[in-house]
């Protein structure tokens, strides 16, 4: 089981796994991948029952025939059952550890890197993201669905090498998203324009940080990049939620992602990385202040290669030190496209 | 040179080193320590000229005879010269990269781990921290001095293994400290008590997260620990700034740190870690809102072992997942004391 605890000083939330007794010492003994890959086609029985799949007609759930498959995480960080409750513990606060934690298996074959999938296959993965967000947002207890991918041990990935991403549905809008929403709202109230649309326009005029542009998407190295080779992928069309992505955008984004991830792989020599989908919170529970958002948020994908370790200064201050200017990043990556 | 850039969406500040052309690929090729250690006694000429030292009477600066030595970082992230200026760059903001970046060499001998120094030697290191904060706070341009230590490559440490810590003097109070200050202020305004004093009292009553207590200090595993084995060291006496630490407290803290770092070393098998001193901002530039702080902040030392990699979910959300409950941490570490 897990508890969701709140730091009363900084309002930071932490999912604490209260049952662990063994201490992970991964800095000493690197973990090994399982001998049989539970995500490969034919091994469907090794995962919990599938929640969603894109599969050939006339094939059965939990049997071969799928192209993308979504299953519950075998060791979920939050549990789906139960009521949301908030209690005091001495001076502290906690809420029950309710949520969902799903794994999106990106291919039936034992392929490790996203960029080696076909653009069409990547589009199917994106389609699965959209389907899961739409479905989970029907549950009022969930305020936010975070879709993300961890690749490589230095990016916090599990030992399963078969290409996959994850999602976590949360009972509260996370702090980082709140900070973006409130920055975007403040800008909108002042200018009556979407801050992301303005950033995109500004960058397309300046060009020094633009890596890729087509009719539907723009890929940027952000002006205040916290990490070397941090990238943002924006749809040109204003839309606050990934739920609103069109079929044409999904096809196009599959191609864009394949190109960009290939360029990162080549330039940084197979870097560990995370990517995170930034989308609007659930609009259903109307009492949440953030769910009134429409014109002031703009969904996007954030890609963070993990080639530099964060140090004590960065953790302590929230100030970041980035040894590679985003303008250098843009020129290096453009060479590979 | 470097620029300090601000993310307009989230108000995050980033020091961007605009001159780098080589891309660090440390996930591929681990860096090697220099063949001659510039921090060892006898090699004083290999560092920039010393700023401060605790040394035997009748010995000369930049010559042997020192016990602790403070020098400028050879590759500083910020520069000491210049005026503070803030300019717009298209839609974005930047300030000039002004600040100080110093290295505190903790011992003349080639010793790698802090806990193998004598408690007395650790106290001298703490004395150097205090002296440098007091001196740098005489400069009105500096709003905050962050003292920190990086140990091990996974904690972002440099290749120099000789035990050392660093400080960075900043032209703005960093976001993480602002968040603590504002949380502490909100609590004080409501309760008219220091939140840290209340947390200490609550934990000393509960005991399940207390690792060490003596007449002057308390070491806790915080209730909402973001990382496994995260620890906080608090002075029992309310004092908002480390500048106010007494000689008796410094002696005592040297002993406490030696014990705690030894216990972490034994329990986690020589973990990479960061520690960060949390102290009040500079009180001199009165126009800074945060410099009015007195009764509502309480200096402390935060220790973060880096045995778990942060993943995409944590970077994207600001929600943390901690696989080891702080109560487990307290019981494991107490066994070693």
Question: What does the alpha-carbon distance between residue A304 and residue A222 come to, in Å, rounded to a whole number?
Answer: 11
Q: In which element (H, E) is residue A104 found? A: strand A100-105
Chain B residues 141-180 within an 8 A CB cutoff of chain A = 144, 146, 148-150, 152-157, 166, 168, 170, 174-177, 179-180
Cα B43–Cα B46–Cα B50 angle in degrees, nearest 5: 90
Chain A residues 263-322 within an 8 A CB cutoff of chain B = 267-272, 274-276, 278, 302, 304, 306-322
> Is A29 in CB contact (< 8 Å) with chain B?
no
Mean pLDDT, residues B209-235 taken together: 97
pLDDT of amino acid A224: 94
Measured CA distances, A335 to A210, A217, A263, A331, B45 (Å): 12, 19, 9, 7, 43
List B27, B115, B162, B164, catalytic entry: B164
Nearest CB partner across the interface for B311, out of A156, A226, A312: A156
Q: Closest residue of B to A207, CA-based?
A: B90
pLDDT of amino acid B290: 63
The rounded Cα B176 to chain-centroid distance in angstroms is 13
Cβ A226–B12 below 8 Å, yes or no?
A: yes
> If we measure between CA atoms, which residue out of B323, B245, B279, B76 comes closest to residue B176?
B279
> Is B231 in CB contact (< 8 Å) with chain A?
no
For chain B, what percent of residues have pLDDT higher than 90? 66
pLDDT of amino acid B25: 77
Question: What does the alpha-carbon distance between residue B21 and residue A14 come to, in Å, rounded to a whole number?
Answer: 38
Lowest mean pLDDT among A125-139, A220-234, B86-100, B241-255: B86-100
pLDDT grade for B287, boundaries at 50, 70 and 90:
low
Indicate if the pLDDT at residue B45 is higher than 80.
yes
Question: What does the alpha-carbon distance between residue A156 and residue A141 come to, in Å, rounded to a whole number?
Answer: 27
Tokens linked to A169: 């549905």
Question: What is the bridge-based pairing of β-strands B217-220 and B164-170?
Answer: unpaired
Tokens linked to B151: 């140990």
pLDDT of amino acid A3: 84
Indicate if the pLDDT at residue B119 is higher than 90.
yes
Tell me, yes or no, if B300 is annotated catalytic: no
To the nearest 10°, report the CA torsion of A137, A139, A142, A143. Answer: 50
Question: What is the bridge-based pairing of β-strands B86-89 and B66-72?
Answer: unpaired
Cα A105–Cα A106–Cα A107 angle in degrees, nearest 5: 100
Indicate if the pLDDT at residue B173 is higher than 90.
no
Nearest CB partner across the interface for B312, out of A92, A148, A224: A148
Q: Counting Cβ atoms within 10 Å, is residue A85 exposed (0-12), middle (13-18) or buried (19+)?
A: exposed
Question: What does the alpha-carbon distance between residue A218 and residue A220 come to, in Å, rounded to a whole number?
Answer: 6
> In order of start, what are the domains of chain B with their CATH numbers?
2-26+35-336 (3.30.428.10)
pLDDT of amino acid A1: 67
Phi-psi category of residue A299: left, alpha or beta, with phi > 0 → left and psi -120 to 50 → alpha: beta
Residue by residue, DSSP assigns A164-223 as EEEEEEESS--HHHHHHHHHHHHHHHHHSS-HHHHHHHHHHHH-TTEEEE-SSEEEE--T
To the nearest 10°, report the CA torsion of A267, B18, B30, B166. Answer: -160
Mean pLDDT, residues A268-293 taken together: 83
Q: What is the ipTM of this complex?
A: 0.87
Indicate if the pLDDT at residue B286 is higher than 70.
no
Cβ B224–A14 below 8 Å, yes or no?
A: yes
pLDDT of amino acid A311: 83
Question: How does the average pLDDT of chain A come out, rounded?
Answer: 91
Q: What is the largest CA-CA distance in chain A?
A: 58
Tens of pLDDT, residue by residue over B183-207, are 999 999 999 999 999 999 999 999 9
Which residues in chain A have their CB less than 8 angstroms from residue B326's CB?
16
Measured CA distances, B156 to A138, A315, B133 (Å): 42, 11, 23
Give the distance from residue B58's alpha carbon to the nearest chain A alpha carbon, in angstroms. 36
Measured CA distances, A235 to A254, A300, B38 (Å): 12, 7, 50
Cβ A313–B198 below 8 Å, yes or no?
A: no
Mean pLDDT, residues A92-108 taken together: 90
Indicate if the pLDDT at residue B84 is higher than 80.
no
pLDDT of amino acid B221: 97
Indicate if the pLDDT at residue B12 is higher than 70.
yes
Which residues lie below 8 Å from residue A218, measured CB to CB, with a gap of 6+? Answer: A200, A203, A204, A210, A212, A233, A234, A236
Q: Where are the beta strands (DSSP E) in B106-222?
A: 144-151, 164-170, 210-213, 217-220
Q: Between residues B156 and A123, which one has the greater pLDDT?
A: A123
pLDDT of amino acid A33: 85
Measured CA distances, B11 to A33, A82, A176 (Å): 40, 37, 11
pLDDT of amino acid A287: 61
Tens of pLDDT, residue by residue over A148-180, are 999 998 888 888 999 999 999 988 888 888 889
Indicate if the pLDDT at residue B136 is higher than 80.
yes
Chain B residues 74-113 within an 8 A CB cutoff of chain A = 77, 89-92
Question: What does the alpha-carbon distance between residue B337 and residue B335 come to, in Å, rounded to a whole number?
Answer: 6
Tens of pLDDT, residue by residue over B49-83, are 999 999 999 999 999 999 999 999 998 888 777 66
pLDDT grade for B175, boundaries at 50, 70 and 90:
confident
pLDDT of amino acid A93: 87
Contact B142, B99 (CB under 8 A): yes
Helix (H, G, I), strand (E, B) or coil at B262: helix
Mean pLDDT, residues B312-317 taken together: 83
Indicate if the pLDDT at residue B24 is higher than 80.
no
pLDDT of amino acid B309: 83
pTM of the predicted protein model: 0.91
Give the distance from residue A184's alpha carbon to the nearest chain B alpha carbon, in angstroms. 6
pLDDT of amino acid A332: 95
Lowest mean pLDDT among A220-234, B74-88, B132-146, B245-259: B74-88
Contact A150, A158 (CB under 8 A): yes
HSE-up of B320 (CA within 13 Å, CB side)? 22
Contact B234, B200 (CB under 8 A): yes
Nearest CB partner across the interface for B317, out of A9, A23, A176: A176
pLDDT of amino acid B31: 75
Tens of pLDDT, residue by residue over A25-51, are 767 777 788 899 999 999 999 999 999
pLDDT grade for B289, boundaries at 50, 70 and 90:
low
């Amino acid at each position: 089981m897990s508890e969701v605890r709140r730091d009363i000083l900084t309002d930071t939330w932490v999912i604490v796994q209260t049952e662990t007794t063994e201490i992970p010492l991964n800095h000493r003994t690197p973990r090994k991948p399982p001998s049989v890959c539970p995500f490969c086609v034919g091994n469907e029985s090794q995962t919990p029952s599938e929640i969603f799949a894109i599969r050939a007609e006339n094939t059965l759930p939990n049997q071969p025939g799928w192209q993308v498959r979504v299953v519950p995480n075998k060791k979920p960080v939050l549990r789906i059952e139960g009521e949301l409750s908030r209690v005091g513990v001495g001076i502290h606060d906690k809420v029950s550890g309710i949520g969902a934690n799903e794994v999106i298996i990106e291919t039936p074959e034992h392929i490790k890197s996203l960029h080696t999938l076909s653009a069409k296959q990547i589009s199917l993965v994106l389609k699965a993201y959209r389907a899961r967000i739409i479905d989970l947002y029907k549950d009022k207890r969930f305020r936010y669905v975070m879709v993300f991918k961890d690749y490589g041990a230095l990016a916090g990935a599990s030992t399963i090498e078969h290409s996959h991403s994850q999602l976590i549905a949360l009972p509260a809008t996370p702090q980082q998203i709140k900070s973006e929403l409130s920055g975007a709202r403040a800008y909108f109230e002042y200018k009556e324009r979407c801050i992301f649309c303005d950033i995109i326009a500004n960058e397309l005029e300046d060009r020094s940080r633009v890596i890729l542009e087509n009719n539907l998407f723009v890929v940027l190295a952000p002006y205040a990049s916290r990490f070397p080779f941090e990238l943002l992928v924006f749809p040109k069309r204003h839309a606050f939620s990934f739920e609103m992505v069109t079929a044409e955008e999904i096809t196009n984004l599959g191609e864009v992602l394949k190109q960009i991830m290939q360029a990162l792989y080549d330039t940084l020599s197979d870097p560990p990385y995370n990517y995170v989908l930034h989308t609007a919170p659930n609009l259903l529970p109307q009492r949440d202040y953030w769910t009134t958002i429409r014109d002031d948020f703009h969904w996007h994908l954030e890609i963070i290669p993990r080639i530099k370790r964060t140090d004590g200064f960065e953790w302590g201050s929230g100030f970041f030190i980035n040894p590679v200017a985003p303008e250098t990043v843009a020129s290096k990556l453009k060479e590979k496209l």
